[in-house]
Structure 1
Amino acid sequence: MYTYVHMNILHLDIDAFFASVEQRDDPTLRGRPVAVGTGVVASCSYEARCFGVRTAMRLSEARKRCPSLLILPGDYRRYEQAGRHVLAICNDVVDRVEVSALDDLYLLLPVETNEAIRLGETLREQVGEEVKLSVSLGIGINKLVASVATQEAKNRRLETYGGNLRSWIYQDRPLPPSPVVGVDPGREREYLAPWPVDILPGIGHATLRKLEPLRLNTVDDLAQKPRALLCGLLGKQGDRLLRFAQGIDDRPVESAKNQTSIGRRASFDPPVSNREFLLALTSHLVDRATSWLRLKGQHTRGLKLFMRYGDQQTGEGHASIPQSTDDETLLRKTAQDLLTRNYKRRLPLRLLGIELAPLQLAVNEPLLFPDPLASRIQELATCKDNIRERFGFTSLQNASSLLLDKSLAKDRENYRFRTPCLSR
């Protein structure tokens, strides 16, 4: 007899990730307002939030709000180690975990909501004991509801302070953990209805401006609009947002084994307009991404380049690769050509990134007439990977990215960009 097994999705978010790692590793920072970043705030502690400091805020504004703010440049290696430790704990609990970002995970749970909540509480305690970091957890039948439930968990954690977070912290009392918030199946639309409309993924400043004529305040306001009206304003995105507003989200939880893309990006403040620097940065990002491809035994058949300008507008370009490859020379030239063709506006860039997709397993079929040059290129790539594994990624650089040495500091593994990036 067939028995239906209900599936839930648990969303895990590490609280104030970068700042929490800094406070964990340096006891003198505990109880003090801390921000990580060198142009904008990449992460800030709860102590800093008492003064109104927020993620993505310019550091100049953050200093005005909190004169005692301690600003740290960040250390991605330690953040990655902490993120991998949390991921390892999650992988011990369930079979399928999707890494959305270092501090942002989705777990597929084949259990009912109440059992999922109990499992989440156990997971929260284990992360606290082993990694010494706090996490917020939300549970729902799909990714959207689970992530919004996580936001509710964070909000309810703050409510436990009686509205006086600063007083709680200054009494040197440990912050209580967030509750695990679960949403029962069938309540998706009802649960999302009162939330602000910008809680939905894909609604940023640009989309909000387009929606201004509709005077939308809540998700329910959006859910009641005709599909034709939204598609007329936003195109295909209108249909997607309407489905989200109605509580419908078909995005699957994809484990690393099923990863279909790999991206690398860098953000900087102030924005950069030097084209030679941007071409060198593109080369570096491709080099890092192709190194990952070889490590995982993957090839790609496409490359996407995306940009964010100083005025927050975006641009992108895409190229298909005729035959799946991990050839960094080919991919580097493709990416640099995309940058040259698509960087048209006379504005500096705040973010530059590349994405390789779709991915597929590398299959090295024996050739009737092997190409000696291709074999030597593959051997050279393997040799480079071995050197970097032993001495660090920046121990060996392509000539096309050496220009970065003139303007960026670097450590053993990477250049130090203006702001640490969760997605590397």
Structure 2
Amino acid sequence: MKSNKRIILHYDMDAFYASVEIRDRPNLRGKPVIVGTSVITTCNYEARKYGLHSAMSVAKARGLCPNGIYLKVDKEKYSRVSKQIKNLVLRLTNKVEFIALDEGFVEITDIIKSYLSYEVFAEKFKRGIFKNTGLTCSIGIGYNKLSAKLASDAKKPGGVTFIKDIGEFADFISDKGVKLIPGIGKKTQEILGLKNIVQVSDVLKISLQELRSILGYNRGEMIYEYCRGIDNRKVSSESKTHSISNERTYLSPLEDKEFIWSEFLNLLVKTHKRLKIQKFHTKTLTLKVRYLDRKIITKSKSMNITTQNIETLKKLMLELFEEIDLEKKIKLLGINLGNLSENKEYQLSFKNIENIKKERKIQELKEKINNFRKNIV
């Protein structure tokens, strides 16, 4: 093996939420199991035979699969199992990038040298997870993150696929539809479809300049490279948290102002708790509202300094709350704490200090004017 060649593994737990529920309730085995309250978060492969899939409304799913087992999402349980899986992976190496509760990238460039083959290592990886959790996963091993991810999707559930170099990538991808490429969603497919670009092989026939003109500079370049198996992203074990958020969707539309405020307060308390647990301070607060007509608005405000004080955040939230149109019916509320800092003590800059002094002077002046007016009266 060449020293500069990277070897990346991508693992993806099979129908994770549903598999955890079936593991804990063996009587569900062989039956279509769907996890989700209003929208499907995941369903097992028996349910998928009925045309069910993630993001489908549960109402529609019940029409297609009336005899399915419909379960509520148990986030705490899934998080516990996810942590167990992550700890198992971290026994191998700390060169791991967890991208969701049920999947992650692992750089195995050095580790795999101790094994006879990719096949031997992949099977041992799968056996280790099954032995400790009772769950199965699909494995992809590639020469970069892109190839590893596509490989893990190739033989689900429980499959193992290898794409060892660009030559094997070309053989794997050329006859596939463009939707297989990360970054190509429904809208991008439609745009490419108007140009009769449907297969990856179609993308390979056009120039980088032409693709940029169709999709925009950055996205065009990314798709151009991905279709050729080029991906220089590293496995980032230092995945930083940029924000912490919570949302809630309501079955019945919200109209009462006091109730909406109380719900925002509940969301703030939950989000603030996570902020403290993760030992972050925040500088920006954002409120999110989705109306009954599906229109989404956000209102944000930033402070001069970072804080972890919930009373300060409540005052900031109240200012934003007053800017929201509450005449329309609301279906979703959300709160986001952003511009996070791990510093326990924030050193004020001279500019911060001067701004604070100015604000205090203005406040003192306002108080003097008010007192003066009161005395005149």
| 205 and 5 in structure 1: CA distance in 2 versus 1, 3 angstrom threshold | closer
Aligned to 1:66: 65
Q: Secondary structure at the match of 1:94?
A: coil
Q: Secondary structure at the match of 1:93?
A: coil
TM-score norm. by structure 1 comes to 0.67
Overall identity of the aligned pairs, in %: 29
1:47 partnered with 2:28: no
Residues 50-94 of structure 1, C-alpha deviation per residue, up to 9 Å, x if partnerless? 222222222222222222111111211211111111111111111
Aligned to 2:270: 288
Superposed displacement of residue 14, structure 1 = 1.0
Amino acid at match of 1:87: K
TM-score norm. by structure 2 comes to 0.75
User: Are the aligned partners of 1:219 and 1:245 in contact in 2 as well (CA < 8 Å)?
Assistant: yes
After superposition, residues 165-180 of structure 1 pair within 5 angstroms as: 178-180=158-160
Unaligned regions of 5+ residues in structure 2, if any? 349-377
Please identify, of 63-72 and 261-270, the stretch whose mean Cα deviation from structure 2 is larger. Answer: 261-270
Aligned to 1:247: 229
1:217 partnered with 2:203: no
Number of equivalenced pairs: 341
Superposed displacement of residue 322, structure 1 = 3.6
Q: Secondary structure at the match of 1:137?
A: strand
Q: Measure the CA separation in 2 of the matches of 1:184 and 1:45.
A: 30
Q: Measure the CA separation in 1 of the matches of 2:225 and 2:49.
A: 36
Q: Secondary structure at the match of 2:230?
A: coil
Q: Measure the CA separation in 2 of the matches of 1:342 and 1:231.
A: 38
1:90 partnered with 2:89: yes
| 57 and 258 in structure 1: CA distance in 2 versus 1, 3 angstrom threshold | closer
Among 108, 111, 129, the residue aligned to 1:127:
129
Aligned to 2:175: 194
Superposed displacement of residue 102, structure 1 = 0.8
Superposed displacement of residue 274, structure 1 = 4.9
Aligned to 2:355: none
Unaligned regions of 5+ residues in structure 1, if any? 158-177, 368-424
CA RMSD of aligned residues (A): 3.7
User: Are the aligned partners of 2:177 and 2:200 in contact in 1 as well (CA < 8 Å)?
Assistant: yes
| 204 and 109 in structure 1: CA distance in 2 versus 1, 3 angstrom threshold | same
Q: Measure the CA separation in 2 of the matches of 1:219 and 1:148.
A: 14
Residues 268-300 of structure 1, C-alpha deviation per residue, up to 9 Å, x if partnerless? 475956585666555544443443332233334
Superposed displacement of residue 37, structure 1 = 1.1
Amino acid at match of 2:197: L
Superposed displacement of residue 19, structure 1 = 1.0
In terms of Rg, which structure is larger? 2
After superposition, residues 323-342 of structure 1 pair within 5 angstroms as: 323-331=305-313
Considering Cα pairs closer than 8 Å and 6+ residues apart, tell me whether 1 or 2 has the greater RCO.
1
Q: Measure the CA separation in 1 of the matches of 2:322 and 2:285.
A: 14
1:11 partnered with 2:13: no
Superposed displacement of residue 11, structure 1 = 1.3
Amino acid at match of 2:281: H
Q: Measure the CA separation in 1 of the matches of 2:122 and 2:292.
A: 40
Q: Secondary structure at the match of 2:281?
A: strand
Residues 143-198 of structure 1, C-alpha deviation per residue, up to 9 Å, x if partnerless? 222211111021xx5xxxxxxxxxxxxxxxxxxxx232121133445533333222
| 366 and 246 in structure 1: CA distance in 2 versus 1, 3 angstrom threshold | closer
User: Are the aligned partners of 1:138 and 1:148 in contact in 2 as well (CA < 8 Å)?
Assistant: yes
Aligned to 1:395: none
